[in-house]
Amino acid sequence: MSFKKTLRRWAGEIAYRLKPGKAEENRVVDIPQFHSLRPGDVAIDCGANLGIISQILGQHGATVHAFEPNPDAFSALTERTSAMANVIRHNQAVLDRAGHMTLHLHVNYHLNPKRFSSRSSLLSEKRNVDDTGGVKVEVIDLVDFILRLDRPVKLLKIDIEGAEYDLLNGLIDRGAMELIESVYVETHAHSIPSLKLVDTALRKRIGELGLSGKIDLNWI
């Protein structure tokens, strides 16, 4: 990670702790594609959390599928986008397979559920989650979801706290990536050491397949 990116991450962490939500809003200002969707476009927001990015994606009329498994975050997402008929909310987690899993919550979740909701993860080994329990959530097969859509996906944003590696490999393996114009991913190998080799392998695969121009693993 570059020095500049490290500074941005720490600055974002401080902003998140001081004023959660505002930090997330600030970090998408420099992503023109997040603001340029129009009616007829389809976007998918995986890990929609409080709905800030979903709201931005749908502000000009694009159809937005917003997936958020955390019940408190989903409540905030619903409240934020309730007046936007073009934002379709799904109280579900996403992976390359369907089922039910435990969503592990941030260790400080009990202090302020909305504030710490964005750190929830399906992976119990994530450093800042409580690995002794959590909430049971429904998981959908996002690959199948995309393959069944009647339109291509203009933009896919993924921030799912470590589960992004399985999902991305599944999208590539099963041909769904061909239906997506651009993908923006926040990776989490920095907070889940067991994923460091997986991260390296995925980046190599993306490069070898010529997908680096489509899949942005460094937007934040």
Flag whether 37 is in a domain.
yes
* For residue 162, pLDDT beyond 90: yes
Q: What's residue 10's pLDDT?
A: 56
Q: Is the CB of residue 192 less than 8 Å from the CB of residue 126?
A: yes
Asked whether residue 10 is domain-assigned, the answer is no
Residue 57 confidence class, pLDDT cut points 50, 70, 90: very high
d(CA 77, CA 87): 10
pTM of the model: 0.88
Q: How many domains does the chain have?
A: 1
> Kind of pairing, strands 99-103 and 42-46?
unpaired
1 band by pLDDT with thresholds 50, 70 and 90:
very low
Report yes or no on 62 lying in a domain. Answer: yes
pLDDT digits over 7-44, tens only? 544 554 555 555 554 445 555 556 889 999 999 999 99
With respect to residue 11, please indicate whether it lies within any of the assigned structural domains. Answer: no
CATH of the domain at 150: 3.40.50
Is 219 inside any structural domain? no
Whether 118 is covered by a domain: the verdict is: yes
Query: Does residue 182 fall inside a structural domain?
Result: yes
In a domain, 15, yes or no: no
Which domain covers residue 83, as residue numbers?
31-209
Q: Is 208 exposed, middle or buried (0-12, 13-18, 19+ CB in 10 A)?
A: exposed
